[in-house]
Structure 1
Amino acid sequence: MIGVLAFWIGALVIAAAALPIAFVLLRRFPDAGAGLTPVLGLVLSSYTYFILRTLHVLESGRGGSLLAVSLLALVGVVVARADRRFTATLQRIGPQAVLYAGIFTIAFFSYAAFRSYQSSIGGTEQPMDLMYLNAMLVSPEYPPHDPWLAGEPASYYYFGYLQAAMLTNVAGVPASVGYNLGLAAVFASSAAAVASVAAAVARWIFRTDRRRLVPVAASAAIVLLLFASSLIGIFEWSAAHETTSRPLYEAFGVENILPCEPDAGSEADCYRGGAVNRTNSWYPTEFWFWWRGSRVIDGTITEFPFFSFLLGDLHPHLTSIPLVLLALALAASTFRSRKPRSFATIRGQPFSCLAIAIVLGALAFQNAWDVITFAGLFVVAVMAVNLRRAPVTKAAVSTIGYTGPILLTAIVAYLPWLLDFHTAAGGLYPYVGTGTPPLEGFLQFGAPITASLALLAWVARRVPPGDWLRVAPFALWVPVLPLLLWAPLAAYHGELGNGLGARGAGGWITLALLGAITWANLTAAATLAARGRAAAIALAFAGLATLLLYGAELFLVRDVFYGSVPRLNTVFKLGYQAWILLAIAGGVGLASLLARGPSRMVGRLLAVPMAAILFLALIYPLLAVPNRTGAFSGESSTDGFAALARNNPAEYALVLWLDREVPASAIVVEAPSDSYSGNGGRVGSRTGRQTPIGWYFHEIQWRGSTDANHARLRAIQEKVDRVYNATTPDDLLAAVNDLDASYVVVGSPERSRYPSTSMTTMDQALDLVFEVGDVRVYAVPVRAVMSTS
């Protein structure tokens, strides 16, 4: 519990240190950015740590992290002293700052308690996430090394792991605890941030009824972002209790939940367990039934934030949620600016522009998929401000003069990472497969899209039709242009005919619906933006969200999955971005249903179906939480190695010994493994020590699926094979030295992969330095290294 408290205190201290900077960046916010200080402080302090480590100013360890936080606090003090309005702003927003600290605290401890009942770090991609967290903590030099590819720097967007490492160091807890509490901090930061953004937008919109509607919008946004889910929950519950209708399940594309038909073949996607295995309680007790909620649309990943937090992978798409909300806050605050933005603004506000550059650059460093979407949205916000005060040409010049240097600074600020970053992405391709059926799309995104449409309905009753008609023809180009681009691109690849037919009637209907909603939202947003009306912000968020979903129906980013499930990641990443945007727009939309006015009765009538859909969206988490936690039974711990210590004390002792005795720069040989293996790459994952090769497929994902990379990684695997298959001391020493390794681990994974490993040869050639149970560690004698070098 002391570690949990230290982690919480550390997060709030970092947030408090960033408060003066938030006042400068987000002064237009009613709370002056108080709700966004946890993420702002962590981004700025983590960047400070990263750049100072890269410049060899700081050493690894807790001291460097504390110094980075101290520098942030010092900058905050300087900013506060230079800001003549700081004291007045602090007095004005003091109660709100306490409120957001309270939201953060409740969310943090609630999630930590939930996670303590399933804290084990294993399965899915959690070993990979732990590997990167440990790399941030122990790498002797920065950029950090890749523990699964010795001698190489990390080639991934790892800023989220660095942020978790910062909090882990500040709190003084081990990585196995920091992993789980890092998840809790992301959950808490997301809650505070989305409440802040939704409350700000609602306050700007509902000026005459803000006391009542602002809390509704903030609360609804939290629910939509962190709790609302796919509508599949009711289908899972009905199937578990055998009250189903096969035609209904087939209509929504979830017949895979139902028991297999008697004549179903071995390849059929259906439930093969007995009824007794599905549930023995009011909720489904089938193992991980909730996993199906992340595969609602065939051939894609359809994660949403609640699922991600339920699963517990400390992955970039999850850790980036608070940062995305911060970028949205910057865009919203910019749109509300009273003054145009140009190069002169940079000369007058260099510190603010530098901070914005660090935030926007962090989007790529934390989750590369986000940078184009949300940095682009910031540019659009600047253009909207400038258009209100100048003709198009002059506004465009001013926008380039302001955003150009900021984006260039963002690139320069993150060059130490960019120079080592490789990607397997192979460019933009047309999607020519089966389109998303409308009911499957509704099952996945029905709740947030429907909630956002409430705001569109509220605005439609308040804008004269003539204003809409003047803008609508121009806004129509937004959904039309992607379609016009798709056709020649598909033809270029020789897939136009196939693409037109393969999409299917359902796919075309979904495309038309998403295009129409995008058109309506952006028409309304542009109409109101010209007047500087705040509702344009929420409508733009909603329009961008549906545009992303629309785009994922037409295009894909080619990657290593292209040959089998081509749009797997595209739908996943863009759908995730859309969910975040819709949470804000939907929160404000749900609040609009309660707004007073001449159409109040219409709002009340719309509230009924909205409430029904939101209720359906909350069934999934209601069922999934007790399933994931075992109904909160059993032992609880925030230590991700607690189960390892109980179930495999020898492997746990290995982790402790390696942490204590082996230098962080040493290379430790362990068996290579397939990706997604819980024990595969365990040394690199659990300790951050460099190993020759870990998860092969993931290294290909990170570095590119080229013939050269495959050949290089296979050669390393063969070198490791030589270590464990050596039959003479000389062969063994030659193999170990060829890997420049200092230690060799022999445990269950090694014995399983190399059953012929000779312990006699190991004992003759190497020094046994650790032995607990069936786990051994051998050190390479210094004399052996010298004699073969």
Structure 2
Amino acid sequence: MAGEFIVPVLAWLAVIKALHLGTWPALDRTLGSLAAAAAYPASVLLFTLLSWYCGILGLPILLALLPFLAGIALAGSRGFYTKERLRSTFAWDLAFLVPFLFMLEVRWINPTISYAEKFMDHAFIASIMRQPIVPPLDPWYAGGTLDVYYYIGYWMNGMLGLASGVPSTVTFNLALPTVLGLAVVSLYALGHLLLDRHRWLPVLALLIPNPSAIYHIVIGNSWFDVLWGSTRTITDTINEYPIFSMLWGDVHPHVISIFNQGFLLFLLVFAYMRWGTLTTRGRVILCGLAALSLGSMPGINSWDVLIYAPVTLIFGLLVWRRYGGSALDDERSWMMLVAVPPLAVAAYLPFYLQLGSSGIGGIGIVPAPSDPVEFLLVHGFFLAILVASSAPDIRRRPYLLAAAVPFLLAGYPAAAIAVVPLAYLIARRRFTAADTLAILGLGIILATEIIYLKDNMGETYFRMNTIFKFYLPAWLLMGTASLAIVGEWLGNAGIDGRMPARVERVLPALAVVALLAMPFAINIDFGYGSHTLDGAAYLEGSHPGDAAAIAFLRNLPGDQIIVEAEGGDYTYYSRVSSFSGIPTIVGMPFHEYMWRGDAGRITERSVDVRAIYEQPSRAVDLARAYNATLLYVGDEERDRYRVSIPADVLELIYDAEGVQIYRIPG
């Protein structure tokens, strides 16, 4: 890796470790040996929340670091950081660092902000880092803010970038390594709750592909086609799985949220399994952590809360049923059920009050359900494990197979497949943590065969977002449950007893080496690589004029609004606002239409931008109507419009390599 990026990476890791060290002591008495693990995701979420409130209050963002530094000082003065304690957290440090380095290699190979949703993702991060205010400015809708979208995940990464002094184009490529590292820590900690041995197995839910990917590999497709084809398996939908999302590289809400989903599952399972061992203080802290995680979900990826709010309530009921269930509840088992939801809402209450999104348009019945073969190519691995685990029950009570009949008669064969293991898990009535996770995951994929949430994606892709956003939580729920079952099978088979101790010690090291070698052993270069961590570095070769001009704009102080060409979505247009974070009149118009609807008058803005470039008599007045301060003229503007601007009334402030930037008179 180029030496120039060692310092930014180390600075980024130093901030995360400082947050971790400042949070860990507060969790130690509650979570015990798992406190150091939980402190990784908990500290990042807490820093995000504190910095967000600094943004609301207009305070310097770096003030959000003070509670963590104070925590380190206080714990240090009390002798908390002993050699034994620091040594005990080494495994968790590695659990974060190894996947972080793996993804860092992946991003170094494919760093460019140039395709899919990357322009959008970086635009939001750049806007937030340029002006860290709440709600953040919308870089593609001058005068508007991001109160129409879930932006907290972008805020999280932007604040880590500001705290570590890393520019947004590098922050973009450090975001997913951080997400994967935090997710691995969370699921590894969950493995410590679910299994006595092979506790790393739940982590595989983040790393294994679906059966469709295996099929594409077998038929000899390229890696690009393997990844793309395996996530478009169910017709007219998107069915991503975690390792695809990581390799594809969009720093998008559904990907950022993966670590927080794993963290909440860890907290809920911890409460279910260990509530009775906690003091009242410990229960309060655990409820606070669960509220912090659940409360962050609507702002990181709002679709998640539609799943995890009910999941939290279900676990709250299970805790109450297991430890209380009476009027004289000495265990205070009602706290998870009663305290967590309102605390979660309160944590980010200003977000809800500011939210201007129109939301979904209701619930519809799926008229064209999934093909059963396509369904199995997505969920087949986990379904096979869950059916196999139910085999003894199937032999004892074969009549429960009749649960599939109504769905078959109604024309929903994929739902009929999912309902079989679901029926047996419910009839078993064990409701262990693993069984409960499996039941919840199966319930999601069953429900999405029957109903969908209405949005503006059109008739063909009517259930695309429902499948897209709900399948990832289902994958994590079924995946962790299924892999925990595999761990139980391995333990019952006595695999550990037959494995030499030396081999058992060497295997983890070999797995680490294999993981870190994989990005180089397998060609995962999608053709956008420039072997750097700067996502904008490729512009110097492909668009040198824009590269220099954008570098100039990124250092331009003050509140600015820039006029640039609008050329549709998923194109190189809107590149100036995306790379600089300076708002433009309109960019990526379909995205803006999805968020703002007809009230946004997106088409009118596009027409006005054309007039600014082509009608010199109207240009200044139209630009002033949007409070624009800058006018950008580069190759894309000349290709898109018949450029004729009133240069005599504009101030030329930049002119190099075919790009001119004018200041618009106030």
- Counterparts of 2:184 and 2:130 in 1: how far apart (Å)? 30
Q: Residue 233 of structure 1 contacts residue 623 of structure 1 at CA under 8 Å; is this kept in 2? A: no
Aligned equivalent of 1:715: 604
SS at match of 1:151: coil
Q: Residue 454 of structure 1 contacts residue 590 of structure 1 at CA under 8 Å; is this kept in 2? A: no
Alignment of 1:103 onto 2:7: no
Matches within 5 A, 1:212-291: 213=197, 216-218=198-200, 220-225=201-206, 227-240=207-220, 284=222, 288=225, 290-291=227-228
- Counterparts of 2:171 and 2:649 in 1: how far apart (Å)? 38
- Counterparts of 1:325 and 1:417 in 2: how far apart (Å)? 23
Q: Residue 222 of structure 1 contacts residue 583 of structure 1 at CA under 8 Å; is this kept in 2? A: no
Alignment of 1:693 onto 2:589: no
1:295 Cα offset (Å): 0.2
Q: Residue 221 of structure 1 contacts residue 587 of structure 1 at CA under 8 Å; is this kept in 2? A: yes
1:70 Cα offset (Å): 2.6
Aligned equivalent of 1:442: 376
Q: Residue 42 of structure 2 contacts residue 289 of structure 2 at CA under 8 Å; is this kept in 1? A: no
Aligned equivalent of 1:116: 108
Judge which range, 109-118 or 349-358, deviates more: 349-358
**1:69 partner amino acid:** L
Aligned equivalent of 2:501: none
Matches within 5 A, 1:38-53: 38-53=40-55
**1:757 partner amino acid:** V
- Structure exhibiting the larger radius of gyration computed from Cα positions: 1
SS at match of 1:768: strand
Matches within 5 A, 1:331-410: 331-339=268-276, 353-391=287-325, 403-410=337-344
Q: Say if 1:199 and 1:641 are closer, same or farther in 2 by CA, change over 3 A.
A: same
Judge which range, 684-693 or 589-598, deviates more: 589-598
Q: Say if 1:697 and 1:765 are closer, same or farther in 2 by CA, change over 3 A.
A: same
SS at match of 2:370: coil
Aligned equivalent of 1:757: 643
- Pairwise CA RMSD of aligned residues? 3.6
**2:565 partner amino acid:** A
Aligned equivalent of 1:747: 634
Alignment of 1:512 onto 2:401: no
- Counterparts of 1:587 and 1:80 in 2: how far apart (Å)? 39
Q: Say if 1:323 and 1:735 are closer, same or farther in 2 by CA, change over 3 A.
A: same
Matches within 5 A, 1:542-557: 542-557=438-453
- Counterparts of 2:478 and 2:134 in 1: how far apart (Å)? 37
1:182 aligned to 175, 180, 183, which one?
Answer: 175
Judge which range, 128-137 or 71-80, deviates more: 71-80
Q: Say if 1:402 and 1:595 are closer, same or farther in 2 by CA, change over 3 A.
A: closer
Q: Residue 767 of structure 1 contacts residue 780 of structure 1 at CA under 8 Å; is this kept in 2? A: yes
Using structure 1 for the length normalisation, give the TM-score: 0.74
- Report Cα offsets for 1:262-312 as digits up to 9, x if no partner: xxxxxxxxxxxxxxxx7xxxxx37x65531121011111011111111110
SS at match of 2:492: coil
Aligned equivalent of 1:417: 351
- Counterparts of 2:365 and 2:495 in 1: how far apart (Å)? 42
1:745 Cα offset (Å): 0.5
1:740 Cα offset (Å): 1.0
Aligned equivalent of 1:646: 541
1:454 Cα offset (Å): 5.6
Judge which range, 634-643 or 322-331, deviates more: 634-643
SS at match of 2:240: coil
SS at match of 2:538: helix
1:590 aligned to 475, 478, 486, which one?
Answer: 486
- Report Cα offsets for 1:570-616 as digits up to 9, x if no partner: 11111111111123212212212212379999xxxxxxxxxxxxxxx
Alignment of 1:681 onto 2:574: yes
Using structure 2 for the length normalisation, give the TM-score: 0.87
Q: Say if 1:186 and 1:392 are closer, same or farther in 2 by CA, change over 3 A.
A: same
Aligned equivalent of 1:667: 561
1:381 Cα offset (Å): 1.8
**2:205 partner amino acid:** L
Q: Residue 216 of structure 2 contacts residue 225 of structure 2 at CA under 8 Å; is this kept in 1? A: no
Q: Residue 111 of structure 2 contacts residue 529 of structure 2 at CA under 8 Å; is this kept in 1? A: no
Aligned equivalent of 2:430: 528
**2:263 partner amino acid:** L
- Counterparts of 1:595 and 1:457 in 2: how far apart (Å)? 18
Aligned equivalent of 1:568: 464
**1:565 partner amino acid:** Y
Q: List gaps (5 residues or longer) in structure 1.
A: 59-63, 204-212, 241-277, 279-283, 485-499, 530-535, 602-617
1:335 Cα offset (Å): 0.7
- Counterparts of 2:51 and 2:519 in 1: how far apart (Å)? 41
1:708 Cα offset (Å): 2.7
- Counterparts of 2:494 and 2:122 in 1: how far apart (Å)? 55
Alignment of 1:735 onto 2:617: no
Aligned equivalent of 2:503: none
- Counterparts of 2:265 and 2:74 in 1: how far apart (Å)? 26
Q: Say if 1:437 and 1:21 are closer, same or farther in 2 by CA, change over 3 A.
A: farther
Q: Say if 1:147 and 1:439 are closer, same or farther in 2 by CA, change over 3 A.
A: same
Judge which range, 633-642 or 153-162, deviates more: 633-642
Q: Residue 719 of structure 1 contacts residue 735 of structure 1 at CA under 8 Å; is this kept in 2? A: yes
Q: Residue 24 of structure 1 contacts residue 352 of structure 1 at CA under 8 Å; is this kept in 2? A: no
SS at match of 1:419: helix
Q: Residue 110 of structure 2 contacts residue 530 of structure 2 at CA under 8 Å; is this kept in 1? A: no
Q: Residue 201 of structure 1 contacts residue 538 of structure 1 at CA under 8 Å; is this kept in 2? A: yes
- Counterparts of 2:287 and 2:73 in 1: how far apart (Å)? 18
Aligned equivalent of 2:18: 13
- Counterparts of 2:29 and 2:316 in 1: how far apart (Å)? 17
1:71 aligned to 67, 86, 102, which one?
Answer: 67
SS at match of 2:211: coil
Matches within 5 A, 1:605-620: none
- Counterparts of 1:687 and 1:594 in 2: how far apart (Å)? 52
Q: Say if 1:352 and 1:436 are closer, same or farther in 2 by CA, change over 3 A.
A: closer
Q: Residue 149 of structure 1 contacts residue 691 of structure 1 at CA under 8 Å; is this kept in 2? A: yes
Aligned equivalent of 1:321: 258
- Counterparts of 2:484 and 2:417 in 1: how far apart (Å)? 22
- Report Cα offsets for 1:292-337 as digits up to 9, x if no partner: 1210111110111111111100011111111111111111111123
Q: Residue 224 of structure 1 contacts residue 586 of structure 1 at CA under 8 Å; is this kept in 2? A: no
- Counterparts of 2:40 and 2:580 in 1: how far apart (Å)? 28
Aligned equivalent of 2:8: 3
Aligned residues: 641
Q: Residue 56 of structure 1 contacts residue 141 of structure 1 at CA under 8 Å; is this kept in 2? A: yes
- Report Cα offsets for 1:499-557 as digits up to 9, x if no partner: x99x74xxx33211211212222344xx334xxxxxx1111111111110001001101
Q: Residue 768 of structure 1 contacts residue 779 of structure 1 at CA under 8 Å; is this kept in 2? A: yes
Q: Say if 1:37 and 1:454 are closer, same or farther in 2 by CA, change over 3 A.
A: farther
Q: Say if 1:574 and 1:676 are closer, same or farther in 2 by CA, change over 3 A.
A: same
1:666 Cα offset (Å): 1.2
SS at match of 1:32: helix
SS at match of 2:652: strand
Aligned equivalent of 1:254: none
- Counterparts of 2:308 and 2:367 in 1: how far apart (Å)? 28
- Report Cα offsets for 1:709-766 as digits up to 9, x if no partner: 3xx22222222222111233xx222122112111001112211221x111xx432120
- Report Cα offsets for 1:330-362 as digits up to 9, x if no partner: 111111234499xx969x965554443222210
Alignment of 1:767 onto 2:646: no
Q: Residue 454 of structure 1 contacts residue 589 of structure 1 at CA under 8 Å; is this kept in 2? A: no
Q: Say if 1:392 and 1:350 are closer, same or farther in 2 by CA, change over 3 A.
A: closer
- Report Cα offsets for 1:464-518 as digits up to 9, x if no partner: 97xx99xx99xx99x99xx99xxxxxxxxxxxxxxx99x74xxx33211211212
1:393 Cα offset (Å): 8.2
SS at match of 1:778: strand
State the percentage of identical aligned residues.
24
